Amino acid sequence: MSKLVECIPNVSEGKRKNIIEDLRDEILSVKEIKLLDYSSDFNHNRSVFTFVGSPEKVLEAVYKLAAKSLELIDLNKHKGEHPRMGAIDVIPFVPIKDVTMNECVLLAIGLGRRLGENLNLPVYLYEKAASAPHRKNLANIRRGEFEGLNEKMKNSEWKPDFGPEKPHPTGGATVVGARVPLIAFNVNLNTKDVSIAKMIAKTIREKDGGFSKVKALGLKLKDKDLTQVSMNLTNYKVTPVYKVFDKIGELAKENNIEIVESELIGLISIDAISQIVSHYLKLPDFKPDRILEYKIFNF
Amino acid sequence: MSKLVECIPNVSEGKRKNIIEDLRDEILSVKEIKLLDYSSDFNHNRSVFTFVGSPEKVLEAVYKLAAKSLELIDLNKHKGEHPRMGAIDVIPFVPIKDVTMNECVLLAIGLGRRLGENLNLPVYLYEKAASAPHRKNLANIRRGEFEGLNEKMKNSEWKPDFGPEKPHPTGGATVVGARVPLIAFNVNLNTKDVSIAKMIAKTIREKDGGFSKVKALGLKLKDKDLTQVSMNLTNYKVTPVYKVFDKIGELAKENNIEIVESELIGLISIDAISQIVSHYLKLPDFKPDRILEYKIFNF
């Protein structure tokens, strides 16, 4: 393997096991693909697949998954807590190895065109592939959800990038794009007072003038006498994990509390890991190629 | 690839390029082996090869290297700054993946026997493969070097584990063993006063009552107005990198100086990296399988 792309499609079915397995099997039918993980949430009624492979094979696998999703899922009958506008709702491509972000943008455009032309599915491009600034943010595109899509598309601001200018009758519309790997990172504080976690979240998140590319929320942890700052770091190259961790530590100290422990949800790239090690050990040139296994496997 | 062993043979030739390349080619002749690195030091008159592969293939490659070293190197004519007692001087096996330390000990024993019986080379087992406590430490075995070997072997304490009880006429004796990966790690201090670096080194090293499995030296850095604590961490599971780094930081602070930066020599395992990240980010369960690329390549 040389070029490697990750794809993390989100599908609007998290309850019916046989359908989820049929969808998974569509991905597995492309032999050269490696499925790293898939998980379904009953309350969200949503499944997330994570797989990697060459750009061509990833494109093939996700196209098959999209076609199968349209065949098996009818959004008119779908209920779930998570916002969604499509049977296959979101498809991000993430560059992993020997692939540029631009190549992932081209993948997103290529897939979008095929979904639009062959499957009659309206497609919006987002994040790095967005065709306009107001379309970068997924939440903006998805606002109104499947049920509001017909109305939304009448607005010229929300004309799809590919496909028909009206929703697919059962599949809605799909959002396709390219982004850097997202890091889901939570920090637990030894206080029951959720107002401190909320204050810290507000201080560090981009929305309220904090760090770029950081989303954060303060919340109570049930079953524990702790509160949590729950985060998505959407670009660790802009704002590294250590930067938010150290800042939360400082803010906690100012409030006479401290960090008990952290949590990492899902996977983190070896590049983000190297950045953390480089910072804390003051190793200015530390890169993944100094890691034995990286060197062995040349990934 | 599934089982993976690393082997880092040290050979007593660091000047004559054609000989070094012939030795390298012996390793490369075993196709399934991956040569990660080789480097020669002119003053030490010594070369170090680093390669990985399955236990069987690593054994085959290092046996061929040993035979070739005996053929091409005559220790009677060898001069260099680094202590040595053999044409092929030291051969450590290091478990990397799906291999236990015990399997590496058995590899060392297997190789030792073959070198003794087939090549008429006396072999000492060291570190985890040592046959007696006084033979664990390489420096103890090598004391007296090639020139003192004849005399040393007359002492029953230094009877070889395999092979004849007298030195190989041109190849001396070889030390073979198994060990965990060693981490060579240096920390630079913003002071010209080498006595502080020496004091810190003394405080943290095992020899003087400091951390277990830590060797340390305080020295001046030429061309820079800095001093350095230069270390070998011979078992990061016993004493992790972060522990010595933080302790050096503390001791520096007590002396009103600070750490400028660190250096990592050679490679570090992904397990040792994960340990560092786990500590600084307070991620109690952080393991390599949370790293995307590790998951992808299943190494």
What is the pLDDT at residue B297? 77
In whole angstroms, what is the distance from residue A116 CA to residue A121 CA? 5
Residue with tokens 């509001």: A148
Q: Does A241 touch chain B (CB under 8 A)?
A: yes
Q: Does B259 touch chain A (CB under 8 A)?
A: yes
Q: What is the mean pLDDT of chain A?
A: 94
Judge whether A11 and A69 are in contact, CB under 8 Å: yes
For testing the chain A interface, which of B296, B298, B299 should be mutated: the one with the most A CBs within 10 Å? B296
The arithmetic mean of pLDDT across residues B190-205, rounded, is 96
List the end-to-end C-alpha distance of chain A, in Å, as a whole number: 8
What is the pLDDT at residue B265? 83
Cross-chain CB nearest to A291 (options B270, B286, B295): B270
Cross-chain CB nearest to A270 (options B52, B96, B292): B292
How far are the Cα atoms of A255, B23, B45, B153 from residue B146, in angstroms, in the given order? Answer: 65, 21, 14, 11
Of the pLDDT bands very low, low, confident and very high (cuts 50, 70, 90), residue A106 is very high
Residues of chain A with C-beta less than 8 angstroms from the C-beta of B241: 281
Looking at the complex, report in whole angstroms how far the Cα of residue A94 sits from the nearest Cα belonging to chain B. Answer: 12
CB B280 to CB A276 under 8 A? yes
Residues of chain B with C-beta less than 8 angstroms from the C-beta of A4: 296
Beta-carbon neighbour count of residue A140 at 10 Å?
14
The arithmetic mean of pLDDT across residues B25-49, rounded, is 92
Judge whether A159 and A131 are in contact, CB under 8 Å: no
What is the pLDDT at residue B298? 64
Cross-chain CB nearest to A283 (options B4, B181, B264): B264
Q: Which residues contact B262 (CB under 8 A, 6 or more apart)?
A: A281, A282, A283, B185, B186, B187, B188, B245
Going by DSSP bridges, is the β-strand pair B88-97/B123-127 parallel, antiparallel, or unpaired? unpaired
Residues of A with catalytic function: 82
Cross-chain CB nearest to A292 (options B262, B269, B295): B269
Residues of chain A with C-beta less than 8 angstroms from the C-beta of B291: 267-270, 273
Looking at the complex, report in whole angstroms how far the Cα of residue A233 sits from the nearest Cα belonging to chain B. Answer: 15
Looking at the complex, report in whole angstroms how far the Cα of residue B224 sits from the nearest Cα belonging to chain A. Answer: 17
Full-prediction pTM beyond 0.90? no
CB B269 to CB A283 under 8 A? no
Lowest mean pLDDT among A169-173, A185-189, A287-291, B221-225: B221-225
pLDDT single digits (tens) B85-135 = 999 999 999 998 899 999 999 999 999 999 999 999 999 999 999 999 999
Looking at the complex, report in whole angstroms how far the Cα of residue A3 sits from the nearest Cα belonging to chain B. Answer: 13
CB B282 to CB A296 under 8 A? no
Q: Minimal CA–CA distance to A36: which of A181, A194, A136, A222?
A: A181
pLDDT single digits (tens) B131-155 = 999 999 998 999 999 999 999 999 9
Looking at the complex, report in whole angstroms how far the Cα of residue B103 sits from the nearest Cα belonging to chain A. Answer: 19
| Chain B residue closest in CA terms to A296 | B36
pLDDT single digits (tens) A239-264 = 999 999 999 999 999 999 999 999 99
Query: Is the predicted pLDDT of residue B291 greater than 90, yes or no?
Result: yes
Residues of chain A with C-beta less than 8 angstroms from the C-beta of B277: 273, 276-277
What is the pLDDT at residue A78? 96
CB A281 to CB B36 under 8 A? no
Q: Does A269 touch chain B (CB under 8 A)?
A: yes
Between residues B297 and B200, which one has the greater pLDDT?
Answer: B200
What is the pLDDT at residue A77? 96
Of the pLDDT bands very low, low, confident and very high (cuts 50, 70, 90), residue B43 is confident
pLDDT single digits (tens) A214-242 = 999 999 887 778 999 999 999 999 999 99
Rg (Cα) of chain B, in Å, rounded? Answer: 20
Q: What share of residues in chain B are helix, strand, coil (percent, to 5)?
A: 40, 25, 35
Judge whether A239 and A213 are in contact, CB under 8 Å: yes
Burial class (CB in 10 A: 0-12, 13-18, 19+), B263: middle
Q: What is the mean pLDDT of chain B?
A: 94
In whole angstroms, what is the distance from residue B8 CA to residue B6 CA? 7
Q: Does A2 touch chain B (CB under 8 A)?
A: no
Q: Which residues contact A8 (CB under 8 A, 6 or more apart)?
A: A48, A49, A50, A91, A92, A94
A225 φ, ψ (degrees, to nearest 5):
-85, 45
CB A36 to CB B181 under 8 A? no
B214 φ, ψ (degrees, to nearest 5):
-120, 125
Between chain A and chain B, the number of residue pairs with CB atoms below 8 A apart is: 119
In whole angstroms, what is the distance from residue A31 CA to residue A53 CA? 10
Query: Is the predicted pLDDT of residue B77 greater than 60, yes or no?
Result: yes
Residues of B with catalytic function: 82
pLDDT single digits (tens) A277-290 = 999 999 998 999 89
Residues of chain A with C-beta less than 8 angstroms from the C-beta of B52: 296
Looking at the complex, report in whole angstroms how far the Cα of residue A289 sits from the nearest Cα belonging to chain B. Answer: 8
Residues of chain B with C-beta less than 8 angstroms from the C-beta of A261: 282-284
DSSP A208: G
Q: Does B297 touch chain A (CB under 8 A)?
A: yes
Going by DSSP bridges, is the β-strand pair B214-221/A259-265 parallel, antiparallel, or unpaired? unpaired
CB B282 to CB A263 under 8 A? no
> Residue B252, SS3?
helix
What is the pLDDT at residue B255? 97
Q: Minimal CA–CA distance to B11: which of B135, B171, B125, B130?
A: B171
pLDDT single digits (tens) A5-61 = 999 999 999 999 999 999 999 999 999 999 998 888 888 899 999 999 999 999 999
What is the pLDDT at residue A299? 45
Q: Where are the alpha helices (DSSP H) in B73-231?
A: 101-119, 138-142, 149-154, 194-204
DSSP B181: P
Judge whether B33 and B49 are in contact, CB under 8 Å: no
Q: What is the 3-state secondary structure (H, E, C) of B10-71?
A: EECCCCCHHHHHHHHHHHHCCCCCEEEEEEEECCCCEEEEEEEECHHHHHHHHHHHHHHHHH
| Chain B residue closest in CA terms to A295 | B36
CB B267 to CB A290 under 8 A? yes
Query: Is the predicted pLDDT of residue B299 greater than 50, yes or no?
Result: no
Of the pLDDT bands very low, low, confident and very high (cuts 50, 70, 90), residue A298 is low
